[in-house]
């Protein structure tokens, strides 16, 4: 599908030369581009069903240079789908890729047979028609390929998009809500390019630590510029990268308010000046652009990448330690618009006394397992609790309605741990109280030191299981995943 570029330890010097040349070409070729805003499909206005077509296409990330890509209803990425709490939404997903795929509704609380994991395969030329019951509070979710063994490559090529849940409680808060104007969807990705064309990093290091790229994209846009009104603006941040962790802050150090985690709105806004976002994580923030100054959202270097992969960064960024993500250019006169609410959304707190079971999960990786996996075609080099993923094996059985504690730890690097079909609360991190970024309802959390998750199981998974896995997509594809039933 994509041209592959191998990155292995023996080619560090040659790779560094190639990256330097690519940086020079990229600087000369890439002018600032207007931020692309995905089309919005509102389920209530659109009517039933919403049609999604997974298809191959061509995308010009750089002028005059076309890359082979994948997308939903287009060449790269997919439209933003907006659904409303209380509705039942039918989505007809047609597979026109020429290979098998699935569509996982990441963060949506629905039964296992609707989840879109590896068991809901959509064969070439087929159409899958799930009826999705929307019964959860407003939140920023996303959808993406989850076909086992090909998730990393299909998502890297473009198969993902946003899924927004809205409800009356959210609307009553008066938050910025004009899609594409003061309510911006922002899918953050890093991708590798050669002469302006998208390539697929491959080889030992890419499989061991996850694919990383030399160029940052926002909604598929290189060097993006967003024109925003001079008022409070809502940013819906989604880490759609395969492996990179972002450490986000504005270049002038201005504060912003974090208002929502993966599971929806927090109880109160949290003022921050920086925010880390791992693959699969989402965050909503409010930023005040009333001063009218042009400002850049930046990221620090990926502290989860091995030293060799740090060479993927641009030479200037290796010196400053910061890399531009997105420039904001406020337009027009200062406006009086939405204000940061003092309170957002009250949540029912799970009672620890209701816990009926404690389970332990250790995400493991190693050179020996990696070499065995590569000899077997790249599968199974990683695992959870010493076992690589097997679609025919159910790893855990859970009772519907139960509350459990899941203890999760990682090895060698930080791993974003994602659980399908649930929201959880953080109880502890490394034996201490959770940090500021651990609050709220979550479905994905960064794990290296041990964490304790308080999980309630509200969705059945009988006809098909739910997954739990590392959201570094190469780890997931190569065995760092398990599955559980809920009945």
pLDDT: which is higher, 374 or 433: 433
pLDDT band at residue 320 using 50, 70 and 90 as cut-offs? low
Q: Say if residue 347's pLDDT is above 90.
A: no
* Pair 322, 194 in one domain: yes
> What does the alpha-carbon distance between residue 130 and residue 90 come to, in Å, rounded to a whole number?
6
pLDDT tens, position by position, 442-486: 999 999 899 999 999 999 999 999 999 999 999 999 999 999 999
* Residues sharing a CB contact under 8 Å with residue 102, sequence separation 6 or more, in sequence order: 116, 117, 118, 120, 121, 122, 145, 146, 147
- Which domain CATH number covers 197? 2.60.40.420
Tokens of 275: 């925010």
pLDDT bracket for residue 227 (50, 70, 90): very high
Among the candidates 137, 170, 203, a domain finishes at 170
Judgement on whether residues 34 and 157 belong to the same structural domain of the protein: yes
- Mean pLDDT across the chain: 90
Residue 97 placed within a domain: yes
Q: How far is CA 270 from CA 29, 101, 274, 338, in A?
A: 39, 39, 11, 17
Assigned domain for 347 exists: no
Measure Cα distances from 116 to 112, 258, 281, 398, 467 in Å: 8, 29, 18, 20, 10
Confidence label for 109 from pLDDT (cuts 50, 70 and 90): very high
Residue 341 lies in a domain: no
Q: What is the pLDDT of residues 260-310, one digit of tens each?
A: 999 999 999 999 999 999 999 999 999 999 999 999 999 999 988 875 444
Structure-derived torsion over alpha carbons of residues 235, 241, 246, 252, reported in degrees to the nearest 10:
-50
Q: State the pLDDT at residue 15.
A: 39
CA angle 132, 56, 193 (to 5 degrees): 115
User: How high is the pLDDT of residue 365?
Assistant: 87
Residues 6+ apart with CB under 8 A from 350: 403, 425, 454, 456
For the chain, percent helix, then strand, then coil, each to nearest 5? 15, 45, 40
Asked if residue 83 and residue 65 are part of one domain, the reply reads yes
Q: Please report the pLDDT score of residue 243 as a whole number.
A: 97
Residue 427 has pLDDT above 60, yes or no: yes
Q: Do 324 and 384 reside in the same domain of the chain?
A: no
The confidence score (pLDDT) of residue 8 equals 41
Does residue 116 have a pLDDT over 70?
Answer: yes
pLDDT at 29: 59
- Is residue 291 included in any domain, yes or no? yes
Q: Are 37 and 185 in contact (CB under 8 A)?
A: yes
Same domain, 372 and 447: yes
C-alpha to C-alpha distance for 19 and 11, rounded to whole angstroms: 12
Q: Average of pLDDT values for 371-386? A: 60
Rounded to an integer, the average pLDDT of 308-332 is 70
Burial profile 307-330: b = 16 or more Cβ within 10 angstroms, e = fewer: ebbebbbbeebeeeebbebbbbeb
- pLDDT above 70 as % of the chain: 89
Dihedral angle sign, alpha carbons of residues 111, 116, 122, 128: positive
DSSP designation for 122: B
Q: Which of 339, 126, 159 is nearest to 231 (CA)?
A: 339
Q: How many CB atoms lie within 10 A of CB 47?
A: 9
Q: What is the pLDDT of residue 468?
A: 98
How far apart, in Å, are the Cα atoms of 66 and each of 43, 62, 425? 32, 8, 44
Domain around 469: 352-486
Q: State the total domains in the chain.
A: 3
Q: Name the residue among 226, 248, 240, 237 with its Cα closest to residue 297.
A: 248
Question: Which bin fits 44, alpha (ψ -120 to 50), beta or left (φ > 0)?
Answer: alpha
Question: In this predicted structure, what is the pLDDT of residue 337?
Answer: 72
The model's confidence at residue 487, banded by pLDDT at 50, 70 and 90, is very high
What confidence tier does 369 reach under pLDDT thresholds 50, 70, 90?
very low
Q: Are residues 181 and 330 in the same domain?
A: yes
Of the residues 113, 147, 170, the one at which a domain ends: 170
Within this chain, do residues 159 and 180 fall inside the same structural domain, yes or no? no
> Do 197 and 303 share a domain, yes or no?
yes
Q: Is 381 within a domain?
A: yes
Please say if the pLDDT value at position 313 is more than 80: no
Q: Are strands 232-239 and 183-194 parallel, antiparallel or unpaired?
A: parallel
Query: Nearest to residue 54, comparing CAs of 187, 181, 183, 143?
Result: 143
Q: Which helix (H) or strand (E) holds 476?
A: helix 473-477
Q: In terms of domains, do 266 and 309 share one? A: yes
Q: Summarize pLDDT for 24-74 with one digit per residue, the tens.
A: 555 545 689 999 999 999 999 998 799 999 999 999 999 999 999 999 999
Q: Which two tokens stand for residue 142?
A: 């996303």
Asked if pLDDT for residue 372 goes beyond 60, the answer is no
Q: How far, in Å, CA of 43 to CA of 83, rounded?
A: 5
Is residue 108 domain-resident? yes
Instruction: State whether 154 and 201 are in the same domain.
Output: no
Q: Identify the three-state secondary structure at position 235.
A: strand
Q: Positive or negative, the Cα torsion across 419, 457, 427, 438?
A: positive
Residue 351 vs residue 182, higher pLDDT? 182
Task: Select from 170, 197, 223 the last residue of a domain.
Answer: 170
- Answer yes or no: is 345 within a domain: no
Work out the percent of the chain whose per-residue pLDDT is above 90: 81
Summarised one tens digit per residue, pLDDT across range 125-153 is 999 999 999 999 999 999 999 999 999 99
Return the pLDDT at 204: 87
Residues 151 and 216 in one domain: no
Give the integer Cα–Cα distance in Å for 428 and 408. 11
The C-alpha atoms of residue 108 and residue 115 are separated, in whole angstroms, by 8
Whole-angstrom Cα distance, residue 170 to residue 166?
7
Same domain, 393 and 472: yes
Q: What is the pLDDT of residue 349?
A: 83
CA 306, CA 413: separation in Å to the nearest integer? 9
In a domain, 339, yes or no: no
């Amino acid at each position: 599908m994509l041209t592959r570029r191998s990155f292995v330890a023996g080619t560090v010097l040659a790779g560094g030369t190639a990256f330097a040349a690519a940086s020079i070409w990229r600087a000369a070729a890439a002018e600032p581009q207007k931020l692309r805003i995905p089309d919005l499909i509102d389920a209530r206005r659109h009517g039933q069903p919403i049609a999604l077509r997974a298809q191959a296409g061509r995308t010009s990330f750089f002028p005059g240079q076309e890359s082979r890509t994948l997308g939903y209803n287009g060449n790269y990425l997919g439209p933003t789908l907006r659904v409303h709490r209380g509705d039942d939404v039918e989505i007809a997903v047609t597979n026109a890729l020429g290979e098998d795929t699935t569509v996982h509704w990441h963060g949506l609380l629905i039964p296992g047979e609707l989840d879109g994991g590896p068991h809901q395969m959509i064969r070439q030329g087929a159409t899958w028609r799930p009826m999705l019951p929307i019964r959860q509070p407003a939140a920023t979710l996303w959808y993406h390929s989850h076909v086992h063994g090909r998730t990393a490559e299909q998502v890297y090529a473009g198969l993902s998009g946003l899924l927004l849940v809205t409800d009356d409680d959210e609307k009553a808060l008066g938050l910025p809500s004009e899609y594409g104007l003061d309510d911006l969807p922002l899918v953050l990705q890093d991708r590798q390019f050669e002469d302006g064309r998208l390539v697929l990093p491959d080889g030992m290091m890419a499989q061991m630590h996850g694919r990383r790229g030399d160029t940052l994209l926002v909604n598929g846009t290189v060097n993006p510029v967003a024109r925003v009104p001079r008022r409070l603006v809502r940013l819906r941040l989604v880490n759609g990268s395969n492996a990179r962790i972002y450490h986000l802050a504005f270049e002038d150090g201005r504060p912003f308010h974090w208002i929502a985690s993966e599971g929806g709105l927090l109880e109160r806004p949290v003022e921050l000046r920086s925010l880390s976002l791992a693959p699969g994580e989402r965050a909503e923030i409010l930023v005040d652009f009333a001063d009218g100054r042009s400002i850049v959202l930046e990221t620090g270097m990926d502290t989860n990448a091995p030293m060799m992969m740090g060479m993927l960064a641009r030479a200037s960024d290796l010196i400053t330690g910061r890399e531009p993500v997105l420039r904001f250019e406020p337009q027009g006169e200062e406006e009086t618009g939405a204000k940061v609410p003092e309170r957002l959304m009250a949540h029912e707190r799970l009672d620890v006394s209701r816990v009926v079971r404690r389970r332990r999960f250790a995400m493991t990786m190693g050179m020996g397992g990696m070499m065995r996996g590569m000899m077997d075609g790249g599968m199974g080099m990683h695992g959870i609790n010493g076992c690589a993923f097997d679609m025919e094996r159910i790893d855990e059985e859970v009772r519907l309605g139960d509350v459990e504690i899941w203890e999760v730890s990682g090895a060698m690097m930080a791993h974003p741990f994602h659980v399908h079909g649930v929201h959880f609360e953080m109880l502890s991190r490394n034996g201490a109280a959770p940090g500021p970024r651990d609050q709220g309802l979550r479905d994905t959390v960064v794990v290296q030191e041990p964490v304790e998750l308080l999980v309630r199981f509200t969705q059945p998974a009988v006809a098909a299981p739910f997954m739990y896995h590392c959201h570094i997509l190469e780890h997931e594809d190569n065995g760092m995943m398990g599955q559980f039933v809920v009945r």
